[in-house]
Structure formats: C-alpha cells, structure tokens
Amino acid sequence: MSSNGKPKIAFFDFTSCEGCQLTVVDSLQDHPELLNVVEIVQFREAMTEKGEDYQIAFVEGSCTRASDEPRLKKIREQAAIVVALGACAHLGGVNALKALHPLDEVRKYVYGDKADWYETYDTRPISAVIDVDYAIPGCPIDRNEFIAVVKALLLGKKPPIPDYPLCVECKLKGNVCLYTKGEVCLGPVTRAGCGAICPSYGASCEACRGFITNPNDNSMREVLAEAGLTVEDITSIYTMFTTYQVREKLQQKG
Amino acid sequence: MSKRIDVHHVTRVEGHGNIVVEVENGNLTTCRFEVVETPRFFEAMLLGRPYHEASHITSRICGICATGHATASLRATEKALGVTLSEQSWLLRKLTFHGEILDSHILHVYMLVAPDFLGVGSVIPLVNTHPEVVLRALRMKKLAGDICAAVTGRHTHPIAMTVGGFTHFPTTAELESLHKRLVESRKDLDATVELFSKLSWPEFERDTEYVSLSKPDEYAYIDGDIVTTDGVRVPPERYKEVTNEFLVPHSTAKFTRNKRESLMVGALARFNNNYDQLHPKAKEAATALGMKPKVTNTFLNSAAQVVEIVHSTEDAILIIEKLLERGIQAEEPAPVTRMPGEGVGVADVPRGLLIHHYQIGEDGRITGANCIIPTNQNINNLEHDMRVLVPQVMHKDQEAMRLDLEMLVRAYDPCISCSVHVLTIK
C-alpha cells in the first residue's frame, strides 16, 4: 500500500499490440472514480513516472523470447497478484500462429539472411513462464470486464470470469444464430464474457477468449464439418487465437 | 565535456524504443534510436490462412491503428480478388477511418505530447492542474471511439469490416446522434487549436523527402498514388520504388530511404503534399498554428495532427450527412470475382503510409504477404533529425537534452510494436 492507503498497481507489456492497455485507458475514461481508489505506479505507454513498488501487476503480451523471462519473473517476485491482460498474455494469442510453420522458415521469411540478428522462440502465454493468479480474456479485453475484475480484486474477491459458452450470451442478446445463416462460429466452445460482441456485429466468434473448461471438441468439429468445412478449414478456425492450446492438447494425446 | 544519454524504453510512445546518444569533447560520437520491441512475424503468420482472416489477423499488429491495418489489409485483398465496393461501403470505410484518425491524434497530442509542454510526466497530474483540458481530451476521444464503434463494433480490432463491405450497419438514430455530437465538438476543436497555437514548439529545421498518398478529388487516406515532395508519383503497386527497405543491427524494425538519406511519412507529410485539399476550417486551423507548406520542423508533426483533427471532424460530418440523405441499407458484401490474385492495399494511417501486399492462391489461402509500416519508414529520418538536433542542444544539461530528444521521438508519434511486426525480405 502507498502512504495514502491506496493499493499500487502497475501495467507491463510484452509481445503484443498494446490494444489491451489502450482499452484500459478507455475504461478509465468511463470510470475515472477508479483513480481515486488505486495508485497507478507504472504504465509506460501513458506515463513517464516509474515505481517499482506495486501489489497488483497487469501483464499484456505473450512471451516470445528467452531474454524476456527475467523481466517477467521479477514482476512475479514483486507483485502479490499477477493478472494476464488479454489474449496474448492469457493464451499466446495470434502471436502463436507462427508455430504453425517451422520457426527457421518463419524467421527467414521475415528477416531473410539477417534472421540471426533477431531473437525469438516459440510463443507462449505468460502462465508458461510464471504463476498467474487471474486472466482477463479477450482480444482485446472487454472494458466492462476489466472494471469488474479490478473492483473484485480491491474487495479481495475472485474476479467474475464466466466459464460457460458464448452461445448463452448470444441467445440472451437475441442474435440470429450464424449457423442458421449458413456461417460458422466457435461460440459453442468459447468462454463467454464479451457479450458475444462479434456475432452481434455479424461476424463469427474466433475464440479470442479461449475455450471453456470442458469444451465438446468432437461435436464442435463435427458441426463444422457438417457446415462444409474441410479439415484444413477447421484447423484454421481453431487456431486463430488458440494455436498454443491446440498444440498442447495434441501433445498430451501424444 | 562528455555526456551520455541513454533512455532505456522511451515512455509515452507505443512500443519499446531506446535513445542512445554519446557526446565526447563536444563531438557527437553515437546517435541511435534502438528498436528493441520483440519481433512478431505477422507476414509469416498470414501464410496459409484463408483470405477472409487477413484483416482480423493484421488488425492485431497495432491496438492504436487497428482500423488502419484492417483497411489496408481489406484493400489489398479486394484488389487481389477483383472486389468493387459500393458507394455506401466507401462512405462507411471513410467514416470509421476518420474515427481512428481522431482517436489516435487526440491521444497523441493531448496525452502523450502536451505533458511535455506543461512540464509534467503524464496526463494524470493535469487532472488537478488543467481539468478542463483533460475533460475536453476525454470527451473528444470518446466521440472518436464511438464513431468506430457505431460502424464496426469497436475501435481496437474492428469487427464488422469484411472483404467487400460490412456485416453490420449503423442505425439512422446512431448516425444522427454522432452528427449532433460532431457539430457540438466544434467548440472543442476551437479550444484545441487555441491551446496548441500557444505552445512554444522547439525551433528546428531539417528538410527531408515527405511521402504520402494523393488522390485527385480528396485529402487522401485510403487508396491513391504514392507521392513525395521531391516530385515522385507512383501507383501503389510500385511501392518498392519508394520504400527501399534495409536492415540495421540495432533495430528489429527495418529502415527505408528513397531519393535522400531518409524520408518522412505521417500527418506532416500529408499536410505538405495535400494541403490544398484540406477542409477550409482545417486550413484556418493551420493558419492559427502558423503553418503553411512546406513545413520542415519535425516537431510540428503534432501540430499537423491538430489540423487533421479539424479536417477529419468536418469531413466526418459531411459523410454522415451523405449517408443520412441516401438512407442506410443492409447490403451484402460485394462478391469476389477472381481467384487466385495479387493486390496492394494502401492507407495513410495516423502515423503515415501503410502498405499491405498479398498473394492469394486458387484455394483462397494466402501464399505471400508483405507489409510496410509507417514507423519503419520514419525511424531512419528520426536518427538523421537527432544528428542535427544534438549539436544544437548539447550545451544544455543532461536532463534538458534528454527531454529535447524524447520530445523529438514523440513528435513522430512512433508506433514501435507496429514497426517490428511485419517486415519482409523477398
């Protein structure tokens, strides 16, 4: 705690687009009262001041190189609570797409014969490097969910992240199911909490919030196949944000 | 007299960059802007993905200019696959693009640049000392975000923009409400121009080659030719003639140069190339800010953004009036007419010229991708500016010199995550 009794919070970014931190800025725009109850001591994208004494760390971005691990571990040592902020930190996110090709080829495709100049390794969520207490899912995060999580943490409660499929929220919104329009969607296996924002704007759910705890993968794949998707198409739709999870599952199956 | 300025991770910029400057016995010995952002390899990530995913994947290059990336990406795909947009789709694309220009510029000039001039480390202390300035910035930024949200669902990672058009349409009531708020925001524009016209911008001149898009009939943001203040004009497909990329070891972002040792893209480049096509009210703002092309003070890139805030507001008002007059229709996206294909999409996003270039195979999957990012094009110019600025300020103490250099970096509004995300050598 700082001398004024407010908990100190800090924001950090690793490999990401920083869109989740921008969403935080937008959330604070709607809820400036939060600044009265917490003290932000580090937020490189928005402020110059830097404090190394903090209790809650929000970490955006995935870990994509070994040399970033010490910084991540130092954050873990300092913070009482570490929260993964958004899909890159939570899942690996789109950064993990590069795992679908051999890493050497990926490096050469982008940096040619200078590939060795630039350090990289297989993309991983931050939970693969340090213990993570909570995750705020989504690409980007949902601003209302961010506020709800901060409020819960300040009250010493577990953040309210749903563990039921997106279809529940989509139905409550009264959306016409995309499958009835001849389109496909990962709503049945994806964790809710975003208010089914993509289907509400006519686009299919791409599972940026990750899967629910026990998704019925086999049924989902059957439904996608019945909708006319090839095996390659199903791999595509299943890997947009969740390549790391899909590969982990394959490795477990051996 | 020896000084070393080593700003490890410049703050209030997007992404991770370091300033390294060394002065020994009054001579500048080292002058680098290091990009230390982790490489992300987006172009390789696109390989093998279905064409309709490209704009959703590449919008994730950047949280600030997600709409710009989605726009350039969709234009590349649409050109590759022979897709012709309807008039309504064009109006909506332009409207949401203005939303992003406003959002990004307001964030930059108010929250990232203004604190330097008001002597504070971030926008947060301004809440107490200049509450009216902060509230105005928040009000303007919220309106910008709401424009994007009405058209595409949200600003960061737009949802409803797709190949050939849109999957969702704003209602008449939403457009009317935005129109009313935009008209009301004119008083905030006046106050913004007044605030920034009173700032004492650092004195600095370095002429360079200013590069932007250009169209015959409007201040170009989407499509058009690539033009420069050195008289070059090429269609987008010949972009490589202007953006000769090269790698340097201290940066994960590639550098570019054309006719001169370096080139500059962004609001100041657009202002210098396309001043005549600015809305009359934007020209008035330029006059108030003491700007007339060609402006060669890099620090005034932020002032050019203020001019564009006025232009985008006025043009957004005109676009909404057109949409309301025509009536909004729920249209199916325009069809793909050929496959395979190759296309180059260009957009002049908040930080400057952005190029997406795709090859799409017969099965609709991407077989080749190249993206050229504004900040990449600017970093080389920034280093050349630093070499001119350092001798002018090296009599100052270390702290003052550091602030001058940081302000120069921020003037470019660099988007460093973008710059390392997508670089290709073929």
Mean pLDDT of chain B: 90
Q: What is the pLDDT, as a whole number, of residue B28?
A: 86
Shortest CA distance from A28: residue in chain B: B138
Nearest by CB: A46 against B56, B122, B166: B122
Q: What is the pLDDT, as a whole number, of residue A154?
A: 93
Q: What is the pLDDT, as a whole number, of residue A80?
A: 96
- The Cα–Cα gap between B369 and B377 comes to 18
Extract the tokens encoding A134: 């909570």
Average pLDDT of span A109-126: 85
Which residue matches tokens 């490589």? B240
Task: For A185-195, write each residue's pLDDT tens digit.
Answer: 999 999 999 99
CA distance B226 to chain A (A): 24
Extract the tokens encoding A30: 């709607």
Judge contact between B90 and B221, C-beta under 8 A: no
Average pLDDT of span B99-123: 88
CA proximity to A161, closest of A185, A132, A186, A184: A132
Sketch out chain B's domains with CATH numbers: 42-421 (1.10.645.10)
Shortest CA distance from B45: residue in chain A: A98
Residue B153 forms contact with A (CB below 8 Å): yes
The residue that leads in pLDDT, A27 or B169, is B169
Q: What is the pLDDT, as a whole number, of residue B176?
A: 98
Average pLDDT of span A76-80: 96
Give the whole-number percent of chain B exceeding pLDDT 70: 92
Judge contact between A60 and A72, C-beta under 8 A: no
- The Cα–Cα gap between B178 and B321 comes to 11
Instruction: Decide: helix, strand or coil at residue B193.
Output: helix
Q: Give the ipTM of the model, two decimals please.
A: 0.94
The residue that leads in pLDDT, B246 or B1, is B246
Tell me which range, A29-38, A101-110, B166-175, B383-392, is most confidently predicted by mean pLDDT: B166-175
Q: What is the pLDDT, as a whole number, of residue B11?
A: 67
- The Cα–Cα gap between B195 and A10 comes to 31
Sketch out chain A's domains with CATH numbers: 8-154 (3.40.50.700), 166-253 (no CATH)
CA proximity to A186, closest of A175, A170, A174: A170
Least confident of A20-34, A184-198, B137-151: A20-34
Least confident of A168-177, A242-251, B161-170, B250-259: B250-259
Mean pLDDT of chain A: 92
Q: What is the pTM of this model?
A: 0.93
CA proximity to A213, closest of A241, A198, A192, A194: A192
Query: What separation in angstroms does the CA of A18 have from each of A156, A206, B61?
Result: 27, 20, 9
pLDDT band of residue B425 (cuts 50, 70, 90) is very low
Q: Which neighbouring-strand residues pair with A247?
A: none
Instruction: Return the amino acid letter for A171.
Output: K
Least confident of A195-204, A214-223, B30-39: B30-39
Residue B324 forms contact with A (CB below 8 Å): no
Q: What is the pLDDT, as a whole number, of residue B426?
A: 24
Instruction: Decide: helix, strand or coil at residue A247.
Output: helix
Please state, as a whole number, how many other Cβ atoms lie within 10 Å of the Cβ of residue B172: 12
CA proximity to B185, closest of B98, B71, B113: B98
Taking CB atoms and an 8 Å limit, are A107 and B11 in contact across chains? no
pLDDT at B248 over 90: no
Name, in order, each residue with C-beta under 8 angstroms of A4's C-beta and a sequence gap of 6 or more.
A39
Nearest by CB: B159 against A114, A120, A197: A197
Nearest by CB: A118 against B14, B127, B252: B252
pLDDT band of residue B399 (cuts 50, 70, 90) is confident
Taking CB atoms and an 8 Å limit, are A64 and B38 in contact across chains? yes
Residue B64 forms contact with A (CB below 8 Å): yes
Taking CB atoms and an 8 Å limit, are A19 and B156 in contact across chains? yes
CA distance B25 to chain A (A): 30
Q: What is the pLDDT, as a whole number, of residue B329?
A: 95
Residue B66 forms contact with A (CB below 8 Å): yes
CA proximity to A138, closest of A217, A195, A76, A203: A195
Q: What is the pLDDT, as a whole number, of residue B421?
A: 37
Instruction: Decide: helix, strand or coil at residue B165.
Output: strand
Q: What is the pLDDT, as a whole number, of residue A78?
A: 95
Q: What is the pLDDT, as a whole number, of residue B37?
A: 64
- The Cα–Cα gap between B232 and B229 comes to 7
Q: What is the pLDDT, as a whole number, of residue A112?
A: 82
Task: For B185-237, write each residue's pLDDT tens digit.
Answer: 999 999 999 999 999 899 999 999 999 999 999 999 999 999 999 999 999 99
pLDDT at B420 over 50: no
Average pLDDT of span B110-125: 82
Nearest by CB: A101 against B13, B40, B44: B44
pLDDT at A114 over 70: yes
Extract the tokens encoding B21: 């400057």
Which residue matches tokens 């700007």? B291
Nearest by CB: A202 against B63, B167, B423: B167
Distance from chain centroid for Cα B249: 25
Residues of B in contact with A68 (CB under 8 A): 38
pLDDT at A209 over 80: yes
- The Cα–Cα gap between B253 and B379 comes to 8
CA distance A120 to chain B (A): 7
Which residue matches tokens 């390989």? B47
CA proximity to B237, closest of B81, B357, B104, B340: B357
Name, in order, each residue with C-beta under 8 angstroms of A136's C-beta and a sequence gap of 6 or more.
A20, A58, A83, A84, A85, A86, A90, A145, A146, A149, A159, A161
Judge contact between A210 and A245, C-beta under 8 A: yes
Angle at B380 between CA B376 and CA B384, to 5 degrees: 155
* A-interface mutation test, from B7, B40, B46, most A Cβ less than 10 A away: B40
Extract the tokens encoding A53: 């004494």
Taking CB atoms and an 8 Å limit, are A19 and B249 in contact across chains? no
- The Cα–Cα gap between A124 and A66 comes to 11
- The Cα–Cα gap between B107 and A105 comes to 38
Residue B166 forms contact with A (CB below 8 Å): yes
- The Cα–Cα gap between A105 and B41 comes to 11
- The Cα–Cα gap between A141 and B156 comes to 10
Judge contact between B287 and B271, C-beta under 8 A: no
Least confident of A160-164, B167-171, B274-278, B376-380: B376-380
- The Cα–Cα gap between B375 and B73 comes to 17
Distance from chain centroid for Cα B252: 20
Q: What is the pLDDT, as a whole number, of residue B185?
A: 98
pLDDT at B415 over 80: no
Taking CB atoms and an 8 Å limit, are B417 and A22 in contact across chains? no
pLDDT at B255 over 70: no
Judge contact between B51 and B364, C-beta under 8 A: yes
* A-interface mutation test, from B156, B166, B332, B416, most A Cβ less than 10 A away: B156
Cα Rg for chain B, rounded, in angstroms? 21
Establish how many alpha carbons lie within 13 A of residue B293's alpha carbon, considering only the half-sphere containing its beta carbon. 17
Q: What is the pLDDT, as a whole number, of residue A43?
A: 84
Task: For A217-249, write each residue's pLDDT tens digit.
Answer: 999 999 999 999 999 999 999 999 999 999 988
Q: What is the pLDDT, as a whole number, of residue B270?
A: 98
Task: For B2-29, write each residue's pLDDT tens digit.
Answer: 777 777 666 666 666 788 888 888 888 8
Least confident of A57-66, A178-187, B105-114: B105-114
Name, in order, each residue with C-beta under 8 angstroms of A191's C-beta and a sequence gap of 6 or more.
A137, A161, A162, A163, A164, A165, A166, A209, A210, A211, A212
Q: What is the pLDDT, as a whole number, of residue A104?
A: 87
Q: What is the pLDDT, as a whole number, of residue B27?
A: 84
Q: Which helix (H) or strand (E) holds B372?
A: strand B366-372
Taking CB atoms and an 8 Å limit, are B60 and A117 in contact across chains? no
Task: For A141-156, write each residue's pLDDT tens digit.
Answer: 999 999 999 999 999 9
pLDDT at B422 over 60: no
DSSP B35-68: E-PPP--HHHHHTTSBGGGHHHHHGGG-SSSHHH
Least confident of A168-172, A234-238, B290-294: A234-238
Judge contact between B59 and B70, C-beta under 8 A: yes
* B-interface mutation test, from A17, A25, A49, most B Cβ less than 10 A away: A17
- The Cα–Cα gap between A201 and B155 comes to 13
pLDDT at A51 over 90: no
Q: Where are the alpha helices (DSSP H) in B232-373?
A: 267-274, 280-288, 301-326
Tell me which range, A27-36, A109-118, B43-52, B399-408, is most confidently predicted by mean pLDDT: B43-52
* B-interface mutation test, from A21, A40, A110, most B Cβ less than 10 A away: A110
